[in-house]
Amino acid sequence: MWRMWALASLVGMVLLTGGSGPASAQDKPTTETPAVAPAADEKQEAAAPDKPADEKAAEVTYDIPSDVDLAYSVDNLLLFLMAVLVIFMQAGFALVEVGLNSAKNAVNILFKNTADFCLGVLMFWMVGYALMYPGPEYAGKYFGFHQKDFEAAVSADDIKAGFSTAPGTLRTLHPQADFLFQAAFCATAATIVSGSVAGRLKFSSYLIYTLILTGLVYPIGGFWKWGGGWLGAMGFHDFAGSIVVHACGGFAGLAGAIALGPRIGRYTADGKSKPIPGHNLAYATLGVFVLLIGWYGFNPGSQLAFAGTSNLNLVVTIAVNTTLAGCIGGVVATALSWLVFKKPDLTMCLNGILAGLVGITANCDCVTNKEALIIGGVAGVFVMVAIIALDKLCIDDPVGAFPVHGVCGMWGGIATGFFGTDKVLTTQIIGSIAIPAFSFVVMCVVFFGLKAIGQLRVSKQEEIEGLDIHEHGMPCYGADVA
């Protein structure tokens, strides 16, 4: 019986569904009543019936940056990171100088490296940048001044203009990123002097020197080359600052060391050298490696543009040239010290690494790997010869700042004329003398002026007992480790 009911139900269902429409196109009626098209909202509901009403009305958009925007972002982001690496060099200088000096002066040295960064950045923000980059209207001149708005907005047209293929066109940099990178270089030039005058200079005098170097001396010398001044107009080449930064600081340090005279006990009455060993060579060694890492911001960062194949190719070449020069400088200085002193000298090796890095800084963009090895190797020779020469002249430079930054900085500028592609030797010699000479003369006036009024050097008792206690009222180390 139930089967009869099932059969009847099945037949009824077939009859009911038979008028619902054709099963294929061939069965479609020739005439149809046009269907009313569903509204857009109804379509959305049919597609996503569970979607909330407020999301149904929202239109999905994608903010996809253009190639120009991406390149602008890459350039400025990497420049910011390069600035951080250069700022990190302050820690390297502090460690090198502390390690190569007496423990009783550690706080003083650390404080000077901290103070010259703080004051240097502020002075460069207030006046230094305006002196160094006054604008194209001062091209080819010796001096200019124009304050830039570091908070100015960058327009889309500005960004596009920076990608022009016209010769000499620079990529557009955000004013904040540009300032940070340039200020880091300024602070580096200032901190070089700290090692030359360690152990006997009054802290207040060091602050005065810092204000003058970062607010006047470094920016003017920088304008001559990087700001479009007379050296730049001549074609003088100093890619990342062998002369503008390192020689400037090195010769300022020489002026300070001469004005101060040697530390007590450094030389005998007849001029015989009596070395005063540094208290922690572990710090000095670590400091050199920190400086080496920071140099990858210093040299590759000076390209100022990173997006694109040509920029990438040059940046990595600069990095390798920098590494090779530093390594060969350390090897050559070690070999010479072994030959002369009959034992390998760690401090000579460390200064040799720094010498090679300084020497390649001017020309790392325009020499080959093999030429970088030659430049770094010669710098390793020069640094040792200069250290010995200062010793013979009884000029006390506790960390070898002048041999490393002054002598090898000049070598880097001149070497560019020998090895750099399309660089003129006579122009390189002129620039390599002009900026260091300007720094030396001005800082001699400053240091000897302070000496004349009795404000340069601490008293004999303060020097013997240590600047940490007398200048700052605190030791660097506890009594149980001093």
**221/244 Cα distance (integer angstroms):** 6
The pLDDT-based confidence of 2 (bands split at 50, 70, 90) is very low
Side chain identity at residue 187, one-letter code: A
**89/289 Cα distance (integer angstroms):** 10
Per-residue confidence (pLDDT) for residue 11, from 0 to 100? 37
Place domain 67-160+171-472 in its CATH homologous superfamily: Ammonium transporter AmtB like domains (1.10.3430.10)
Residue 270's alpha-carbon distances to 22, 44, 262, in angstroms, are 121, 98, 14
Residues 387, 410 contacting (CB under 8 angstroms):
no
Task: Using a pLDDT cut of 70, give the percent of the chain over it.
Answer: 87
Residues 86, 291 contacting (CB under 8 angstroms):
no
The pLDDT-based confidence of 347 (bands split at 50, 70, 90) is very high
Given a cut of 70, whether residue 460 has pLDDT beyond it is yes
Average pLDDT of the residues in 350-377: 98
Segment among 38-47, 82-91, 109-118, 269-278 with least mean pLDDT: 38-47
pLDDT tens-digit readout, 292-307: 999 999 999 999 999 9
Higher pLDDT residue, 69 or 481? 69
**418/374 Cα distance (integer angstroms):** 11
Domain boundaries, the chain: 67-160+171-472
Residues 383, 408 contacting (CB under 8 angstroms):
yes
Average pLDDT of the residues in 207-213: 96
Model pTM score: 0.85
Higher pLDDT residue, 158 or 249? 249
Question: Torsion angle, CA of 137/125/171/324, rounded to 10 degrees?
Answer: 120
Task: Using a pLDDT cut of 90, give the percent of the chain over it.
Answer: 78
Please provide residue 466's backbone torsions phi and psi, each rounded to the nearest 5 degrees: 110, 140
Q: Which DSSP letter does residue 200 get?
A: T
Side chain identity at residue 242, one-letter code: S
Residues 314, 367 contacting (CB under 8 angstroms):
no
Higher pLDDT residue, 51 or 165? 165
Mean pLDDT, the chain, rounded, equals: 88
Average pLDDT of the residues in 152-156: 86
Average pLDDT of the residues in 151-171: 83
The pLDDT-based confidence of 201 (bands split at 50, 70, 90) is very high
Q: Quick count: other Cβ atoms within 10 Å of Cβ 167?
A: 5
**174/293 Cα distance (integer angstroms):** 25
Name the burial class of residue 128, with classes exposed (0-12), middle (13-18) and buried (19+) by CB atoms within 10 angstroms of its CB. Answer: buried
Beta-ladder partners of 267: 273
